[in-house]
Structure 1
Amino acid sequence: MEPPQLQPGTLWPAILRQTEHALRRGALRPIETTQTLIEEDGIPFLVRQVSSLASKEQSRQADKTTVRDRRAFNPFLPYDPDLFVADVSDTHVALLNKFNVIDHHLLIVTRSFRPQEALLDLADFAALSACMAEFDGLAFYNGGAQAGASQPHKHLQIVPLPLGEAGLPLPIEPVLASARMEGAIGTMPGLTFRHALAQMKPASAASLHTAHTMLDCYGALLEATGLRAIKMNGELHHSAPYNLLVTRRWMLFVPRSSECAEGISVNALGFAGSLFVRDAVQMQVIRELGPMNLLQRVAVPLAIGQ
């Protein structure tokens, strides 16, 4: 018997309902933060800092398990039923992010184990498009540990827009307006590291055609940034770590050189203009270094002449 498919109009109510349930059961453990705007190059970077009480609780929890134990544990096989939101397709389920910084943070997880380093495929984009048709959000993918992935089991993520409490839906929007397109692929002068942008026509509903369009854009972005497919253990992987950001209107692809700079971890949300720090010391580092310099240090430098 095939698993049920996501029915239109049901995902957002299911997210709200399951969030209340998971909070009551203690399965959902939101990380309390304070928000600060740090503007640089016309981008109002949103920096979230873990509150002092939340930081102490995280330290206590971290002491209970070793790094090796955390790496060996797969929270998606089996997943916690209290975090289950919906069956998306025969290949993917939707789960709440247990330690969420942003409310209603959703994970789109493969039912069976697939490595996070594997290339995204049509099934991934079919599941993603089904979820993105349900509410206005920012989807993202951390392609490998050096790109900020904390779990080795393949999963995409979506957070609702706007990202912050006020202002633009996405801090990166001022830079998007300056994109220089050459055919279907473009770059943004304001981003001084390797990247590529693809613009898409908003889809009115999820469809296989939409998934194919997203897959084609993804392939073009891989090629434009110099990444390629390599075969490992009988499966296609990407040749280098990267971050992918997806909205209903565009995709942004950023190859990565390292997972962190100055001790500050950066995942895909960083390239949307949203950063996360553990304490006041890291916040001060960002103020002094500048958010854009932080992103440059974890991304791949532009080639000479670009």
Structure 2
Amino acid sequence: MLGLSEALPQLVESKFASAKASQALLFSPTELFIIRTSAGIPASAYHLSGFQLRYCPFLGRKPEPRKDPTPKKKIDPFEDPPTELFITNVPTANPSHFLILNKFPIIKDHFILATKSNKQQTHALEEDDLKATFACLKAWQTRDNRCRLFAFFNSGDHSGASQPHRHLQFLPVDSMHEGDQSAGWDVLLDSILTNGTEDACTSVVQHSKLPFSHFAYRFTSEPSVAELLNAYNHLYREAKQAIDGFISTHPGHLSLHESAQGDLPISYNMAMSTQGMAIIPRRNEGHMLRRDDGTDIGFVQLNGTVLGGTLMVKFQEEWDTLRQHPEKLDAILEAIGIPKTTQTTKL
């Protein structure tokens, strides 16, 4: 489907190296530590692998933009992508999307699939979005599964989304691994798909150890475009139902988004691999990390990388606190999502 003249990993790696050398992108290496939720201990056949805690002080030092009394149109980084970051059109003939490097990566070879036309991030994903995403996942993966991608998507005010132009993001799993430092960690989506329980009637997979509602679907073989779209729509409906239920039982705590212009009424994260797909409904972009005396340390934000089993902090005290008190991860994960429900609807 991609129609590339060379292998996707080599194409991305070559572009990343040249963009880094020319400073067209700013790569910010991180310190890494593995922490666990309370439910992840003790380990068992159904335990959750650890979460990657990444510390990137460079992002905390970035200057805040000066306030301008004259409102300006927000720049769309995907409207006229810079040559230094542009990878390729997808497909190469009659493209609907293109691939571009993330300008501020903290993971090597982080790249993005964006729509050629300015479609909205808050609208439902379409067949060609899902088809192109799976094609990238398949093009990267080797037969022994040692090299593969993790894809994620953020939609809505509470999801960690930063750009309104529709785009999905890719992280090479081997770049997320960092030798002994990442021992005890695996992609959370993998844990859900491998160790989660599948409802025999609905095919929805859920992991008993996760503290928030999530809905996953396993691919039993290479999915057709119709299966991808059907799975996405079904998981989205489950997420919407979970949020509707939360709103009805917690009045005043969460509201649906305005949807008059085709925007979806909820915030959510979606993740995909060649093995399956998952969606998390969201109610908060992050959670305030606090000291024992109740004073604020900092606001920890999460996007779709939560389904990769990773979160990032920018400041030393946040980094120190979560390493010393990993149980605080429970409160963060509980705050961003919807309390779990076991009700699912038939696929």
Alignment TM class, shorter chain as reference? 0.7 to 0.9
- Per the alignment, in what secondary structure is the counterpart of residue 140 of structure 1? strand
Contact kept? 1:242, 1:254, Cα under 8 Å: yes
What are the superposed Cα offsets for residues 230-258 of structure 1, whole Å, 9 maximum, x if unpaired? Answer: 9633x4x3220000111110111100001
Contact kept? 2:192, 2:206, Cα under 8 Å: no
Count of paired positions: 292
Gaps of 5+ in 1: 204-208
- Per the alignment, in what secondary structure is the counterpart of residue 122 of structure 2? coil
Instruction: Name the structure where strand makes up a greater proportion of residues.
Output: 1
Contact kept? 1:271, 1:295, Cα under 8 Å: no
Larger Rg: 2
Residues 106/220 of structure 1: CA separation in 2 closer, same or farther (3 Å cut):
same
Residues 70/6 of structure 1: CA separation in 2 closer, same or farther (3 Å cut):
farther
Give the TM-score, by structure 1 length. 0.85
Q: Out of 301, 315, 336, which is 1:279 matched to?
A: 315
The Cα shift of 1:291 comes to 1.9
1:77 aligns with 2:79: yes
User: In the alignment, residue 226 of structure 2 is paired with which amino acid?
Assistant: H
The Cα shift of 1:134 comes to 1.2
1:141-290 map, 5 Å: 141-162=153-174, 163-166=176-179, 167=183, 168-171=185-188, 173-183=190-200, 184-203=203-222, 210-227=224-241, 232-233=260-261, 235=262, 237-262=263-288, 263-287=299-323, 288=325, 289-290=327-328
How far apart, CA to CA, are the structure 2 residues paired with 1:113 and 1:128?
17
Residues 71/49 of structure 1: CA separation in 2 closer, same or farther (3 Å cut):
farther
Contact kept? 2:189, 2:271, Cα under 8 Å: no
4+ long deviations beyond 6 Å: 65-71
How far apart, CA to CA, are the structure 2 residues paired with 1:69 and 1:283?
35
How far apart, CA to CA, are the structure 2 residues paired with 1:67 and 1:180?
53
User: In the alignment, residue 218 of structure 2 is paired with which amino acid?
Assistant: Q
Residues 115/19 of structure 1: CA separation in 2 closer, same or farther (3 Å cut):
same
Residues 176/293 of structure 1: CA separation in 2 closer, same or farther (3 Å cut):
farther
The Cα shift of 1:216 comes to 1.1
RMSD: 2.8
What are the superposed Cα offsets for residues 245-299 of structure 1, whole Å, 9 maximum, x if unpaired? Answer: 1111011110000111111110111232101000122224434352232111011
Contact kept? 2:188, 2:307, Cα under 8 Å: no
Gaps of 5+ in 2: 41-48, 141-147, 245-256, 289-298
For structure 1, which segment, 125-134 or 174-183, has the greater mean C-alpha deviation from structure 2 after superposition?
174-183
Contact kept? 1:11, 1:86, Cα under 8 Å: no
Q: Identity across aligned pairs (percent)?
A: 22
1:114 aligns with 2:119: yes
Q: Which residue in 2 is equivalent to 1:26?
A: 23
User: In the alignment, residue 177 of structure 2 is paired with which amino acid?
Assistant: G
Contact kept? 1:129, 1:211, Cα under 8 Å: no
The Cα shift of 1:59 comes to 2.2
